[in-house]
Structure formats: structure tokens, C-alpha cells
Structure 1
Amino acid sequence: MAEKRIVNDVTATGLRNINNLILVGIMMAVGVVLRLCAGFLALGNMHPNFLIATYCLSILMIRPNFKEAAIIGFISGCISQIGTSMPWLGLLSETIGAVTMAALVLIPMPKAVKPLVTTLLTTLVSGFAFVGLAALTYANPMPMAQFVSMATVSVVTAVLNCVIVSILSIPVGGMMNLRK
């Protein structure tokens, strides 16, 4: 007598799901375009980093584990090397930011405010990690005027990013059928 065949339907999660991987790729491409077009928003030699918004949106939608979030952040850090005046800092600051976002999306909070709060905090963590690393490596000691300027860019970017992600999370979440 033949045994019954059992099929287990295992749904891949995080970056192991092809749809999630495609979403992250598209978001990174959008981040590159925004980064290249954000020159008009420059404050001195610094400009907002909208790659943070794209990886925040990706992480919010796909809920990767911490290792996958670190990979997303590291890739964003590699992309952020395009046109930067302070090379290598983005590798660490973006990785820290992405892992922060992965941790923040695990905190229970209302759906309506989750994109806003998580993206705001993530951008601030990433931005101030960048500023701190810059103070330790490139400008030690960092002049107060430079710190204030970089901090201002970080705060303005955080506000812009949380608005962008809050707005885009609705259609992207509907498209991905993953809004949680």
C-alpha cells in the first residue's frame, strides 16, 4: 500500500521571499534616484539621505530578521558612498539604522503611527551615528558650527523621511498585501 504524500507549504519570509527581495531592490533603486536628485536640498556640502526612507519602508513591509536588516543597511551604506564627502561612514551608520528599524517594527504600536515613529527614530539614529562617526574620524574635535549644521540636516531628513514613509506605506503595503 502506498503512503500518503504530504506537502508542506512553507512561505519564505524576509529576504528569502522573492517578492520581498524585489521590493528591496526597487526601493534601493528609488533611493539612488532620490539621492542623486536631492542636490537642490543641500545645506552647504551636506544633503539629506533618502536611502534611509527607502530602507525604512522596505523593512517596515517585509519584516526581515536582524541579519537581513543589517544586509539591507550595509547595501544602503555602499550606495551612500556615491558622491559622499566622508567615505566609509555610511557603511556603519546605515547598518546601524537598518538594524534599529528592524527592532522598532517589532514594538507594538498603532498601524497609523508605526511608519511615522519608526522612520523618525531610525533616521535620527542613523544620522547621529553618522555625525558621531564624523566627529571621531574626520573632524576631531568637530567645530560646533559643523556639528549644528550636520545635526540640522539629520533632523530635517528625519522629518522628511517619516512623512515620505508614512505616505508611501499605504500604497506599498496594499500592493504587497503586507501592511501590519
Structure 2
Amino acid sequence: MEKRVVIKEKKAGLTISDVILVGVLLATGAVLKFFVGSMFNAGMKPNFVIAMYCLAILIIKPKLSEAIIIGIIAGAICQVLPGTPYINLISEPLGTLVMSILISLPLKFKPYSLLKPILGTFLSTLASGLAFLGVLYIAFYAGANVETIPFSAFIVMILLTAVVNAVIVQILYIPVKLALGRGKDD
């Protein structure tokens, strides 16, 4: 008898089920951003689209280029929601880039693998939020004769959104992954 060898093929790109999952999660984030975000009137609103693309990236583990495309799509979705135009087209790809890099780190110790969803989402939300804030200040407030919203108000909103997004993803990660039959972590 010959020894059987199982060869696992490398993934060539996103599968149809991956694309559908990303679409459903981004749509969920858009609905949350629209309805929950409409309760805030502080110049900046929490962005739950970030939580959903972080969850998608954690589950499907896309290549870096695919993650950036997810970020561009997330930024485009944010354009149809109330908010400041165009800035999300910069901030969301940056958030997906951070998440993709963080999940690809070859750290194998147990605390990191258990906390990867919460840490990755928190840091991705911070990166996206700070990029949004930076572009906002450069594009709209630098040299303009307008009354700016205090920087501290934005920072508080970014930190609160990062915490909420991180908790949402940490809670949803394992049930969604198991429901999709994605098995154990790598």
C-alpha cells in the first residue's frame, strides 16, 4: 500500500461565498451605521462598517490586495450614507490594510490568537478613525474660516467606536466562523 498524501491547494482568490459574506457583512455595517449613527450629532458618527469588514477579513483571510479592495468598497458604501464625502475612500482602505497585516502576523502564542479579533478591530478602527480625522482637518479645516469641532470630541468618538467595534467583532467572530464551517484558527 502506498501512503496517501493530501495536498492542500493554495487559494487563488476570493470564492463566491467569500464575496457574498463580505457583501452581507458590509450591508449589515451600513444599516447599523445609518440607524445607530443617526442618534449621534457630534460632527462624526460611529462607523460599524469597520467592525463588519474586520470580521470579514478575520474569517476569509484575504490577500493584502483583496483586503484593500474590501476597504475601497467599504469606503464607497459609506459615501451613500450621511457623512463627510470622500474621506472614507481613504480611511477605510487604511483600516483594512491594518487588519490584514495584523491577522497575517505569524504570532502563535495562545493569548494573541484568542484576542486577535478584539485587538485587530480596535487598532483597525483607530487607524481608520485617525486617518479620517487627519484628512478631515487637512481638507476642511486647515486655513478655512469655519468653526471647527474640538479635536478632543473626535478622539473620544474614535476611541468609543474602536471599543464598541472591537467588542462586537470579538463576540461575533467565533459564532459566525462556526456557522460558516470555517473551523479552527490557523
Question: Could you say whether these structures have the same fold, taking a TM-score greater than 0.5 normalized by the shorter chain as the test?
Answer: yes
Give the deviation of 1:38 after TM superposition: 1.4
The aligned runs of 1:29-68 (5 Å cut-off) are: 29-68=27-66
Q: Please state whether the residue corresponding to 2:72 is helix, strand or coil.
A: helix
Structure 2 portions without partners, runs of 5+: 1-6
TM-score, normalisation: structure 2: 0.84
Structure 1 residues 40 and 78: alpha-carbon distance in aligned structure 2, compared to 1, 3 A threshold: closer
Residues 1:116 and 2:114 are matched in the alignment = no
CA 1:41/1:75 → structure 2, altered by over 3 Å: closer, same or farther? same
Q: Secondary structure at the match of 1:113?
A: helix
Cα distance, 1:32–1:13 mapped onto 2, change above 3 Å: farther
Tell me how far 1:36 sits from its aligned partner: 1.3
Please state if 1:75 is matched with 2:73: yes
Q: 1:105 — aligned with what?
A: 103
The alpha carbon displacement at 1:148 in A equals 1.2
Any unmatched runs of 5+ in structure 1? 1-7
Within 5 Å, give how 1:1-180 maps onto structure 2. 10=9, 12=11, 14-15=13-14, 17-107=15-105, 108=107, 110-140=112-142, 145-178=149-182, 179-180=184-185
Cα gap change, 1:11 to 1:122, in 2 (>3 Å): same
Deviation at 1:85, TM superposition (A): 3.5
Identity %, equivalent residues: 38
Is the 1:13–1:62 Cα contact (8 Å) retained in structure 2?
no
User: How far apart are residue 9 of structure 1 and its match?
Assistant: 7.5
Give the number of equivalent residue pairs: 172
CA displacement 1:111-138 (0-9 Å, x = unmatched): 3211010000000000000000111101
- Counterpart-to-counterpart distance in 2, 1:72 and 1:44: 27
- Is contact 1:135-1:141 (8 Å) kept? no
| Cα distance change, pair 14–114 in 1 and its aligned pair in 2 (3 A) | farther
